[in-house]
Structure 1
Amino acid sequence: MQRDLIYDVGFHHGEDTEFYLTKGFKVVAIEAHPALYHAGRQKFIHDIESGRLMLLNVAVAETSGPISFFESDNDVWGSIRRDAAKRNERLGAGWREITVEGRQFGEILRQFGVPYYMKVDIEGADLLCLKALAEFDDRSQYISIEAEVDVLSGIRKEIAALSSLGYAKFKIVRQGHVPLQSCPNPAREGRFVEYKFPYGSSGMFGEEAPGEWISGDRAVEGYRKIVRVQRLFGDKGWIRRLPLGNKITNFLQPDVSWYDTHASLT
């Protein structure tokens, strides 16, 4: 494990990469969307030239080589999963199928090494990264993935996958509240920075992530109520599927957000 290295799997506009760099870490960032990749190269050109950032224009996939990528009008929703594109269409976001370079995550780990922290948010393909990590004896100290809050069985599968890799402690982090986060001083990860988290960013990580560390069983129970709300009003909820589902949801304004599961080895 390289203690000064973080992986940003799902770079988007670089909201998280910028935070990690500011904290003093080196970053390997992965972005499949060509336009986002090229914008990122321009934004972070000095960090790339200095060697502090390696930005890869690939999609984490089951196989290496050209694959289909479903580019969304909402650029945060791009995915290698066709069912994700269909969900986006139901929510009013058009999509286009393009061809990008796919790469097995194990190849990336072998090339750059196992990081201290791994943030994964790649719209339905997060578990590919965990599957690849199982091929290595080394582990990241911390990992976060976007939680599959549509069904409790999805949560159980994710917690089980993390537990099988040796992760014993978990945090449930509500991502809609990330802009309210404030970095602790003194810092518990990297160096202290006064940072304003933009909406959509992943926020703090490791020992600075908000909330208490809990067991895998408690994490599953903690997600139970969240899943109930999501099954009604979430992106795949049955109310959303009604002809006026989006209008009903907007009128009722239910407490719906997306969540990340953070995991620690010890």
Structure 2
Amino acid sequence: MDKNLIIDVGVHTGQDTEFYLKKGFRVIGIEADPQIYKSVKERLNHYIENGQLTLLNIAVSTKDEPVTFYTNSDRSFWGTTSLDRVKNKEITFSTPFVEMTVEGCRFEKILEQFGIPYYLKVDIEGTEILCVQALKQFESKPKFISIESTKTSWNALLNEFAVFKELGYQKFKAINQAEVPNQVCPSPALEGQYIPYQFEYGASGLFGEETPGNWLSESEIIKVYKDIFWSSRILGVNGIISKLPGGKMLLDTLNIKEPWYDTHASL
């Protein structure tokens, strides 16, 4: 495990990547959307030129071959290779996706080429588990991992934790991503160098020992997610209240928005 390496799968606008770079880490950034990749490459070109950042325009896949990628012009962070995720978003939000072909690559191949990172961040809208499962083939593991966790399937969530447990991860946090813009970088820093940084909405935010809250055991974190799932079923965009006459208007009036969560895991 390379203590100075972070792999950012799902770079999007690059704000998390930039945070890791400014903290002094070397970063391998992965972004499937060609337009977003081009924009981030131009903005962070200084780090690419000095060798601190390697940016890859690929999609994590089950095979090393071209794959269908779906991008959303209204919400660029919804880009995904998961057709199930696309269908769900189209039905729920009546928003169209554009289909394109991009280069696909197994995450095992990426780890073989660049090594095991200190921290692995994965946010690729529905296929995060591919990156976690790829670690089974390696003796060394990242000290920390974060993935956007599912809120639609309890069995899928339990499978995520089963894979984490198999890999040796024993401590967990559920981070409300809607609250990331309120995060404050601790000083002195607990990971890398200290920098004052303001996260925008959509960022994954702080990582490792700098994440807010206490580390929980597997049984404790599953209890937390039970509450999250129940809240989603009642107050979520497809929840009980939203399906009642005037329910969506009521939720909008009360400014109740369904949050999403990242699971952070530590060895």
Normalised TM-score (structure 2): 0.94
What is the root-mean-square deviation in Å for CA atoms of aligned residues?
A: 1.6
Where do 1:211-250 residues align within 5 Å? 211-237=213-239, 246-250=248-252
Question: What does residue 88 of structure 1 align with?
Answer: 89
Percent identity of equivalent pairs: 45
Native 8 Å contact 1:70 1:96 kept in 2: yes
1:72 Cα deviation (Å)? 1.2
2:52 alignment partner in structure 1: 52
Residue number in structure 1 paired with 2:7? 7
Task: Report deviation, 1:153.
Answer: 2.4
1:37-88 deviation digits (Å, cap 9, x = unpaired): 0001100111111110011000001111111111112110011011111122
Q: Within 5 Å, give how 1:10-89 maps onto structure 2.
A: 10-73=10-73, 74-89=75-90
Aligned residue number for residue 260 of structure 1: 262
Letter in 1 for 2:78: W
For residues 119-174 of structure 1, what are the alpha-carbon distances to aligned partners after superposition, in whole Å with 9 as ceiling and x for unaligned?
A: 00100000000111111111000000111122332321111111110001001111
Q: CA separation in 2, counterparts of 1:81 and 1:248?
A: 31
Specify the code of the residue in structure 1 equivalent to 2:198. K
Change (3 A) 1:51 1:257: same
**Do the aligned partners of 1:169 and 1:216 also contact (CA within 8 Å) in 2?**
yes
Contact 2:174 2:264 in 1 (8 A): yes
Residue 206 (structure 1) shift? 0.4
Cα deviation, 1:175-213, whole Å, max 9, x if unaligned, reads: 111111111111110011111111111111000011101
Write the letter of the residue equivalent to 1:20: Y
The aligned runs of 1:112-191 (5 Å cut-off) are 112-191=114-193
Task: Tell me by how many angstroms 1:239 deviates.
Answer: 5.2
Asked whether the equivalents of residues 237 and 258 of structure 2 are also in contact (C-alpha less than 8 Å), the reply is: no
Looking at structure 2, the residues matched to 242 and 75 of structure 1 have their Cα atoms a distance apart, in angstroms, of 30
Q: Secondary structure at the match of 1:189?
A: coil
Q: Report which stretch shifted further, 230-239 or 179-188.
A: 230-239
Give the distance between the partners of 1:252 and 1:112, measured in 2 at CA. Answer: 47
In 2, Cα distance between equivalents of 1:203 and 1:258:
13
Gaps of 5+ in 2: none
Q: Contact (CA 8 Å) 1:87, 1:236: kept in 2 or not?
A: no
Q: TM-score, normalised by structure 1?
A: 0.95
Alpha-carbon displacement from aligned partner over 1:224-252 (angstroms, at most 9, x marks no partner): 11111212333554555678664453234
